[in-house]
Amino acid sequence: MNGTRTALITGGSAGLGRASALALAERGWEVIVTGRRVEPLDRVAARAHTVTALPGDVTDPGHRERIAVEIAARGRLDLLLNNASALGPSPMPSLAEYPEDALAQVFATDVLAPLALIAALIEHVRDAGGTVINISSDAAVEAYAGWGGYGAAKAALDHASAVLAVEEPGLAVYAFDPGDMRTEMHQAAFPGEDISDRPDPETVVPALLSLLDTSPPSGRYRAADLAVAANPGVSS
């Protein structure tokens, strides 16, 4: 096994995925970013020579197989960051009005694809004594009108993360809630509204990196709490 740490980041073409990929590359990691949009993904890879773009849809079993082949060729996987998410229709419908096919797509992207990637890549993560981070949301634990589809999917992913942590005590398994961010997906959740007051995804990356640096017990962590822990003099 080569000594360079390797990460796979889904949804790596924008937002937190892109910011995390570039931050890890700065630390000398080999980073594979995957996502459906080819040109934005290639732009991320162009910014760091240790970032490799692997375009595709994580809900596609064929693409997941290509990812597994790429990881096997690298010989190790220190971090699996399941960041790709589907919000659902915009404007966001109530649960009673939610189209079944749209809800199925949200669960396919936000729950089934991460679990399938974990199953496909877990041996490589085990070999590296690595980390699995599944991106969560406050909508997984709070009831917001219109957020039922996305929130239910993230709640399912949270619970799956907790079960994985019990089943894989040798790994660090985290559900990570980044909080509100100024991203395309968050804008889609609030069509026509000004979300410029939300923080950039880059401001969340230090909290995510602190999970890797400090390796606390597996569990669910909020970026806001990790930021407070890193700066105990800051009041919440």
Active site residues: 150
Q: What are φ and ψ of residue 103, in 5° steps?
A: -65, -40
- The Cα-based distances of 151 to 122, 145, 173, 199, 233 in angstroms read 26, 10, 20, 21, 32
- The Cα-based distances of 198 to 24, 55, 146, 179 in angstroms read 23, 28, 19, 9
Count CB atoms within 10 A of the CB of residue 81: 28
Q: Residue 91, preceding bond cis, omega within 30 degrees?
A: yes
- Beta strands of the chain (E only): which ranges? 6-10, 30-35, 51-55, 79-82, 131-135, 172-177, 219-222
